[in-house]
Amino acid sequence: MKIAFAEPSPPKTGSLVVGVLDDRRLTASAQQVDQQTGGMLTRAMAASKFKGRSDDVLNILAPSGLDLGRIILIGLGKAAALDATAWQNAGGKIVAQLNGVGETAAQVEIDQIDGAKIPAADAAAELAYGARLRSYRFDKYRTKEKPERKPTLKALTIAVDAAGDAKRKFAPLDQVADAVFFTRDIVSEPANVIYPETLADRARELEEFGVEIDVLGRKEMRKLGMGALLGVGQGSDHPPRLLVMQWKGAPDAKDQRPLAFVGKGVTFDTGGISIKPAGGMEDMKWDMAGAGVVIGLMRALAGRKAKVNAVGIGGLVENMPSGTAQRPGDIVTSMSGQTIEVLNTDAEGRLVLADALWYCQDRFKPRFMIDLATLTGAIIIALGSEYAGMYANDDKLAKQLVAAGEAVGEKLWRMPLHDNYDRMMDSDAADIKNISGGRDAGSITAAQFLKRFTNGLPWAHLDIAGTTWSKKDTATVPKGATSFGVRLLNKLIEDNYEE
């Protein structure tokens, strides 16, 4: 779908989309159309349940005399609530509606609205951003899909005064959308296509944007003492990789320490010898989403030329049962020197992250580390799919993350850390065990495990198990891979850490 910006003028073909505020208050563009059509919009609203609320849409066939197929009214809700997210959601709903009626081209009229939180040019950029996000579709393997089921919308024009300003403001958002799509693509791929070697290869595509890429193989990791990560991957024919990405966007910064992001990249998780039930195991192709988000974030920063130094680490493994697989009861030595008793081979993500986190802090001495992982089913029981669980040892970082999540609609709920939970991870045979041994506080004890490998750095852990994949469409996220975390972390950096 092509998005363009233009100064307001009557469209000649396709559909026209105009906004309506709460209580059926027409925007300036909608008023003009209403007058041109002899009050048709007013009559159509009166004959329907459309009130102008943010979830309302009304599709009206254009009358004779207009060179249009239809006029679509999009509810904007209350003016005071029209922030960036609200305009993004409006853009996503417009795309869904236009595809639903089989439209190929449309023009959206954006007006300056008294009381709105952002001006019209920003609103136009945000609406275009939301439209792009909703337009995503993973259809690479659909070879016999009926034409009527395919998206039809090819061109969307955003008409607004100061269209050039809107286009300029959309440019970095467009780069972030590209990064979101990149993550959605790799998370959606099946495990016979994406495995440690090929995921690292996909990440190398970021080199064209200026991201420095280094990939460590089994030999290098063994030399570094990464027994925890290597143990997870030893049952697979696909050897593990440690992906290291650097974006050096602030070479003259006073503080050269990078911001660090670490992702779990288990490209398929059978559970290993502690094998999972068959039902739903196909979903474990997206157990690498944490690493996928980190790759997407680095793509976003490089794409929009963010003035920040950042490093992204992905621990890439496949967890398979075989004659060489790790066994319950094995004891491995992590890069930190801490020994780990592996009581359950399906608690593998924390083993991968243990070495990835230690490597990250040891090599780069970052200002902070944030890890992302589809780590526990327990967080889904606690929070469902509305919030990701957040654990942090630094209040400032935690507050910044929550604010960034609220701003982009990727919400975080802070969960507790405490010494009493930490003691639940003590082992009788080694320094630490990889599960507590019971069902209590499963997500918390996993976070406590990771905390032991942060070496006291400011750190946050985001358990995205419930938010990585959506079973239904939302305004800007079609069902499937969500890319939860790319926009959140980009916003965190944009608001707090760019030079």
Residue 415 in 3-state DSSP? coil
Residue 125 has phi, psi (to 5 degrees) of -65, -45
Structure tokens at 405: 């999540």
Write the DSSP string, 21-73: EGGGEE-HHHHHHHHHTTSHHHHHHHTSS----TT-EEEEEPPTTSS-SEEEE
Is 350 assigned a catalytic role? yes
Task: Report which of 252, 378, 369 is spatially closest to residue 308, judged by C-alpha positions.
Answer: 252
- CB crowding 248-280: b at 16 or more within 10 Å, else e: bbbeebeeeebbbbbbbbbbbbbbbbbeeeeee
Active-site option among 350, 433, 451, 452:
350
The Cα angle at residue 17 between residues 152 and 59, in degrees rounded to 5: 75
Q: How far apart are CA 192 and CA 188, in angstroms?
A: 12
The Cα angle at residue 111 between residues 105 and 113, in degrees rounded to 5: 145
Q: How far apart are CA 494 and CA 401, in angstroms?
A: 12
> Pairing mode, if any, of strands 309-319 and 241-248?
antiparallel
Write the DSSP string, 236-286: SSS--EEEEEEEE--TT-S--PPEEEEEEEEEEE--TTSPPPSTTGGGGGG
Active-site option among 51, 53, 276, 414:
276
CA-to-CA dists, residue 197 to 121, 202, 246, 422, 423, angstroms = 43, 9, 19, 35, 37
Contact 1, 152 (CB under 8 A): no
Between the two ends of the chain, the Cα-to-Cα distance in Å is: 34
- For the chain, the maximum distance between any two Cα atoms, rounded to a whole number of angstroms, is 83
Is 276 assigned a catalytic role? yes
The catalytic site residues sit at 276, 350
